[in-house]
Amino acid sequence: MRYLPHTPEDLESMLKVVAVESLEDLFKLIPRDCLRTDDMDLPAAMSEWELHDFMSGLADKTAAGPAWKLFIGAGSYEHHIPATVAYLSNRSEFVTSYTPYQPEISQGTLQAIYEYQTLVSRLLGMEVSNASMYDGATALAEALLMALRITRKKHLAISSLIHPLYRRVIRTYLEPTGAELIELPRSADGTTDFTLIKEMPELAAVALQSPNFFGCLENLSPAAGLIHKQNGILIACFTEPLAFGLFKNPGSQDADIACGEGQSLGIPRSFGGPGLGMFASSMKYVRSMPGRLVGQTKDKEGKRGFVLTLSTREQHIRREKATSNICTNNSLCALTSAMYMASLGGSGLRDLARLNYDKTQYLQSALKKAGFKIPFTAPTFNEFVVQFPSGFKTVHERLMEKKKIAAGLALEPYYPDLPDHYLLCVTETKAKEDLDALVREVQS
């Protein structure tokens, strides 16, 4: 096996040093009844060439070729990824290093993550970002746990327009804590009705997603005003951070914690993972924050350098009193997103967000013109809901089978009161012809 370098001569001399007869003898302290009596039942080893043929065959069995036109986002977005980002993020020095515990020989990762924290703080309008969480859903779950810790209260309110799968993850995380979770209903315009907060004293936090699962922008400031009056925390969640290139960010709307999914910033969809859990807050809460933080400092000669810091919050020091159990996070994805943000720059991010918005508006008005109903009137970014005529399901399936078009995601499995409602997503990857073709096909 090419990854195992030991020659028979190496083995012989090394076994002699260890003073055992054979490789099997290395395990003689293990009690006999713990040992395997059979071989592991695995397929025979493949050569590199066999493996690649086989894996290529598997990869061909997904709807991912250029012929496919997917108008589905819902937390996993198709955006162009510059060749430079893929190339640079695959450099061995970044890919095959561990968490930067030894800063003198990890300055590459450390400076890059410090830059990531800075870019994320600026994008979200927050004071401090951590080095990443697993994904948007777990970032939100940790934000809610953080709010429970800070406020020492037991009740949480979350919008029913937060990604339905995120809400399921939250329930899993909160189950043993005994915290009470209340879901806020939606208004007719496709945003959250948070007026109920007023009648709920003792809330630790309210969590809203903007743009929300229907693609609509939430007005966070009034919600912040209400929750701050009861000394609670406003958590602003997101699945599409590109929106903040154009629209107001969570920080400018008084969010205390901003968290969500950063996959759309240069990370492939990869069947839903790995993504990037983004997590930022105001500085006053930094010592309650989960996750790793990189800080700037100086070396003995006064030269600028970077280290992991504030680790007294973390599991390896605080053990059961830590702010989270997180250790390995999604560092390489954070680095990738920083490369992507650096490639776009401030001007580019704004232009790209604008292009996403324009294309989405174009499709939305074309569908409206064709007689389809746009049920929610709140402003949107690159996703919106369409109400198709009843029985559209067969058209939807036919387009998928025959035309390789995914005309949005059916909302009914997540919102049973919304049959025939579909969530559509348009990004810069779709040309005008693709949008025109979609409008034609859904009418056929």
Partner 1 sequence: MKQTLGNTGLVLQEPLLWEKGRKGRSGFSFPKQDVPSIGISPELTGPGPDFPDLSEVDVVRHYTRLSTWNFSVDTGMYPLGSCTMKYNPKINEKEAGLSGFQNAHPLLPDRLNQGALQLIYELERFLTAITGLDAVSVQPTAGAHGELTGMLLLYAYHKSKGSKRTKIIIPDTAHGTNPASAALCEYRPIPVKSNEHGILSVESIAQVMDEETAGIMVTNPNTLGLFEENLTRISEIVHAKGGLVYCDGANMNAIMGIVDIGKIGIDIMHLNLHKTFATPHGGGGPGSGPVCVLKHLEPFLPVPRVVKKEGQYVLSDDFPKSIGKLHAFYGNFGVMIKAYSYIRSMGTEGLKNASQLAVLNANYVKERLKGVFHLPYDRPCMHECVFTDKIQQAKKISALDIAKRLMDYGFHPPTIYFPLVVSGAIMIEPTETECKEDLDSFIEALCAISREAEENPDLLRQAPFSCKVKRLDETSAARHPCLAG
CA distance 424 to 278: 24
CA distance 412 to 417: 7
Q: What is the DSSP secondary structure assignment for residue 428, as one 8-state letter?
A: T
According to DSSP, the β-strands at 383-387 and 421-425 are antiparallel
CA distance 368 to 363: 8
Asked if residue 284 lies in contact with residue 257, where contact means CB atoms within 8 angstroms, the answer is no
Nearest approach in angstroms of CB 182 to partner 1 is 18
Please choose, out of 18-26, 181-189, 196-204, 230-238, the segment that lies near partner 1 by the rule CB under 8 A. 18-26
Which member of 160, 196, 230, 355 binds partner 1 (CB under 8 A)? 355
Which member of 208, 258, 265, 353 binds partner 1 (CB under 8 A)? 353
The answer to whether the Cα torsion of 113, 118, 121, 126 is positive or negative is positive
The two tokens of residue 243 are: 């929106």
Which member of 362, 387, 395, 441 binds partner 1 (CB under 8 A)? 362
- Output 35 or 371, the one with its CB closest to partner 1: 35
Please give the residues from 290 up to 329 whose contact with partner 1 meets the rule CB under 8 A. 292-301, 303, 305-307, 309-312, 314-322, 324-329
For the stretch 312-319, contacts whose Cβ atoms lie closer than 8 Å and that sit 24 or more positions apart, written own/partner, are 313/287, 313/288, 313/289
CA dist list (Å): 4 to 1, 10, 11, 92, 391? 6, 12, 12, 20, 59
- Output 81 or 196, the one with its CB closest to partner 1: 81
The two tokens of residue 355 are: 């292009």
- Decide: residue 284, CB within 10 A, 0-12 exposed, 13-18 middle, 19+ buried: exposed
| 256 sits near partner 1 (criterion: CB under 8 A) | no
Please give the residues from 395 up to 414 whose contact with partner 1 meets the rule CB under 8 A. 400, 406, 409
Nearest approach in angstroms of CB 303 to partner 1 is 6
Which member of 351, 374, 375, 393 binds partner 1 (CB under 8 A)? 351
Please give the residues from 364 up to 383 whose contact with partner 1 meets the rule CB under 8 A. 379
Asked if residue 363 lies in contact with residue 381, where contact means CB atoms within 8 angstroms, the answer is no
- Output 319 or 390, the one with its CB closest to partner 1: 319
- Output 163 or 186, the one with its CB closest to partner 1: 163
Helix (H) or strand (E) holding 425: strand 421-425
Site map (CB under 8 A) of partner 1, residues 89-128, x = contact: -xxxxxxxxxxxxxxxxxxxx-xxxxx-xxx-xxx-x-xx
Please give the residues from 274 up to 293 whose contact with partner 1 meets the rule CB under 8 A. 274-275, 286, 292-293
Residues 6 or more apart in contact with residue 174 via CB below 8 angstroms: 141, 144, 145, 156, 181
Please give the residues from 215 up to 244 whose contact with partner 1 meets the rule CB under 8 A. 217, 244
Alpha carbon 97 to its chain's center = 22
| 247 sits near partner 1 (criterion: CB under 8 A) | yes
Please give the residues from 155 up to 184 whose contact with partner 1 meets the rule CB under 8 A. 163, 165-166, 168-169, 171-173, 175-178
Nearest approach in angstroms of CB 294 to partner 1 is 7
Please choose, out of 149-157, 191-199, 201-209, 332-340, the segment that lies near partner 1 by the rule CB under 8 A. 332-340
Which member of 185, 201, 225, 345 binds partner 1 (CB under 8 A)? 345
Asked if residue 220 lies in contact with residue 241, where contact means CB atoms within 8 angstroms, the answer is no
Please choose, out of 149-157, 186-194, 222-230, 333-341, the segment that lies near partner 1 by the rule CB under 8 A. 333-341
Closest by CA position to 63, among listed 404, 396, 397, 403: 404
Residues 6 or more apart in contact with residue 182 via CB below 8 angstroms: 155, 156, 157, 158, 196, 200
Please choose, out of 4-12, 153-161, 186-194, 197-205, the segment that lies near partner 1 by the rule CB under 8 A. 4-12
Widest CA span in the chain? 83
- Output 151 or 239, the one with its CB closest to partner 1: 239
Please give the residues from 126 up to 145 whose contact with partner 1 meets the rule CB under 8 A. 127-129, 131-132, 134-138, 145
- Output 196 or 362, the one with its CB closest to partner 1: 362
Please choose, out of 68-76, 151-159, 196-204, 382-390, the segment that lies near partner 1 by the rule CB under 8 A. 68-76
CA distance 284 to 295: 16
